[in-house]
């Protein structure tokens, strides 16, 4: 009778408080467990039911919406998964979500599942991609194709090692390293390290003018004028100082003293006919004529520019000028 009364009082107390304390008499939650020892002399903790994956599967009919939130510890993977045990692929804690068992992965993150990163989140961890993984930021802002070892900016389909696609907008690349400056060019050293450098050629123009001729052969007797550094001009030629692209302008002034004949002026490079004709097949008529021609040529440093005249009518008296301007590296 005494034991019956004690049990009745205990049950009545549980009903009143609706809280259970283990190893304490003032529970602070529905179930409040206090360790019995704190000196390490006994194992302390809470053990969830431990079942194999197959044992959990055998109870499929017992787990429904009413068991949502139930926790077990699977000691092994299920051999042949069912719909409810499809996720029990290894040992660990699992909870029932009302339909299927879900693994309780404390380390779940964006590397093995979808997830969000907090705005302006910082980390001191490294990000590594293996097995051909790719990185895609905002479709085509930045794309890393690890399978083909390619990087694309402005494109998600880079076709070479590095591809930058800025569409039809000018100014796709800006390199600021302290050496930049207007008119400079990006130059590589022997190791492939690039810096901004002032073009070695700079600006250069030579003018050979007021030459004259009344017969066939190389023209001479002109006056010279040079702008810039390097190169030279004599009374019958111009020596260019740099390798690169040049603009060559030739002008001839002729006076016909006979109504018969024509006159050709040729551009010579290092004494050989370049195939460039300043003036060809001038109409045969008395009076003054003027012809101006522009050509662009890639020349080597120290090439010699000169002209020669071939007149089918030696009665033609000509004067003229040649201007050679360096435009830069090809």
In a domain, residue 23? The reply is: no
Quick one: what percent of the chain has pLDDT higher than 70?
A: 65
Which residue among 165, 191, 212 closes a domain?
Answer: 165
Question: Does 287 fall in a domain?
Answer: yes
Q: Is residue 22 part of a domain?
A: no
* Residue 17 lies inside a defined structural domain of this protein: no
> CATH no. for residue 224?
2.60.120.40
- What is the total residue count of the chain? 330
pLDDT tens-digit map of 299-317:
888 898 887 766 555 556 6
Q: How far apart are CA 295 and CA 324, in angstroms?
A: 10
> Is residue 121 a part of any domain in this protein?
no
Q: Band of the pLDDT at 283, cuts 50, 70, 90?
A: very low
Q: How many CA atoms lie within 13 A of 215 on its CB side?
A: 1
Residues 224 and 282 both lie in one domain = yes
Burial label for 54, CB within 10 Å (0-12, 13-18, 19+), is middle
| Exposure b/e, 95-129, CB count within 10 A at least 16 = b | ebeeeebeeeeeeeeeeeeeeeeeeeeeeeeeeee
For residues 79 and 153, membership in a common domain is answered with no
Assign 137 to helix, strand or coil.
Answer: strand
Radius of gyration, alpha carbons of the chain: 46
Give me the domain span that covers residue 243: 204-328
Q: What is the pLDDT of residue 317?
A: 63
pLDDT score at 280: 45
In-domain check, residue 322: yes
Q: Please indicate whether residue 169 or residue 216 has the higher confidence score (pLDDT).
A: 169
What separation in angstroms does the CA of 218 have from each of 213, 238, 266, 269?
9, 13, 9, 12
Residues 98, 152 within the same domain: no
Question: Taking the chain, what is the end-to-end CA distance rounded to the nearest angstrom?
Answer: 112
Q: Which of 103, 121, 147 is the last residue of a domain?
A: 103
CA gap 55, 43 in Å, rounded: 26
CB within 8 Å of 289: residues ≥ 6 apart: 253, 254, 255, 256, 282, 283
Residue 37 belongs to some domain of the structure: no
Q: What pLDDT does 281 receive?
A: 45
Q: Are residues 208 and 281 in the same domain?
A: yes
Name the pLDDT band for 202 (thresholds 50, 70, 90). low
**82 and 144 assigned to the same domain:** no
Average pLDDT, the chain: 77
**254 and 161 assigned to the same domain:** no
* Same structural domain, 297 and 222: yes
Please tell me whether residues 256 and 140 are part of one structural domain: no
Return the pLDDT at 103.
92
Instruction: Identify the weakest region by mean pLDDT among 24-33, 64-73, 148-157.
Output: 24-33
According to DSSP, the residues that pair with 252 across neighbouring strands are: 291, 320
Most confident of 3-7, 103-107, 304-308: 304-308
Question: Has this prediction a pTM greater than 0.75?
Answer: no
pLDDT of residue 189: 81
Domain total of the chain: 3
């Amino acid at each position: 009778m005494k034991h019956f009364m004690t049990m009745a009082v205990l049950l009545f107390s549980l009903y009143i408080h609706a809280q259970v304390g283990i190893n304490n008499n003032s529970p602070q939650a529905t179930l409040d467990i206090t360790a019995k020892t704190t000196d390490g002399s006994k194992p302390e903790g809470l053990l969830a039911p431990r079942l194999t994956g197959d044992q959990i599967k055998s109870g499929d009919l017992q787990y429904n919406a009413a068991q949502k939130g139930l926790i077990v510890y699977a000691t092994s993977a299920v051999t042949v998964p069912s719909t409810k045990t499809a996720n029990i692929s290894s040992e660990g804690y699992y909870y029932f979500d009302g339909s299927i068992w879900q693994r309780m992965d404390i380390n779940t993150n964006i590397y093995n599942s979808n997830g969000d990163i907090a705005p302006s989140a910082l980390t001191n961890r490294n990000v590594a991609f293996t097995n051909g993984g790719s990185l895609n930021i905002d479709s085509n802002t930045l794309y890393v194709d690890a399978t083909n070892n390619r990087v694309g900016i402005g494109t998600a389909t880079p076709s070479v090692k590095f591809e930058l696609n800025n569409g039809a907008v000018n100014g796709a690349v800006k390199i600021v390293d302290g050496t930049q400056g207007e008119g400079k060019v990006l130059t590589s050293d022997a190791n492939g390290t690039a810096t901004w450098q002032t073009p070695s050629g700079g600006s250069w123009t030579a003018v050979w003018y007021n030459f004259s001729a009344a017969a066939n052969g190389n023209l001479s007797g002109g006056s010279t004028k040079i702008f810039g550094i390097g190169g030279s001009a004599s009374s019958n030629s111009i020596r260019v100082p740099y390798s690169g692209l040049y603009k060559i302008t030739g002008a001839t002034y002729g006076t016909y003293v006979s109504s018969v004949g024509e006159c050709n002026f040729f551009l010579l490079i290092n004494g050989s006919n370049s195939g460039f004709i300043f003036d060809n097949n001038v109409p045969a008529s008395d009076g003054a004529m003027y012809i101006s021609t522009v050509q662009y040529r890639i020349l080597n440093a120290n090439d010699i520019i000169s002209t020669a005249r071939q007149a089918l009518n030696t009665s033609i008296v000509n004067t003229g000028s040649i201007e050679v301007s360096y435009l830069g590296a090809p």
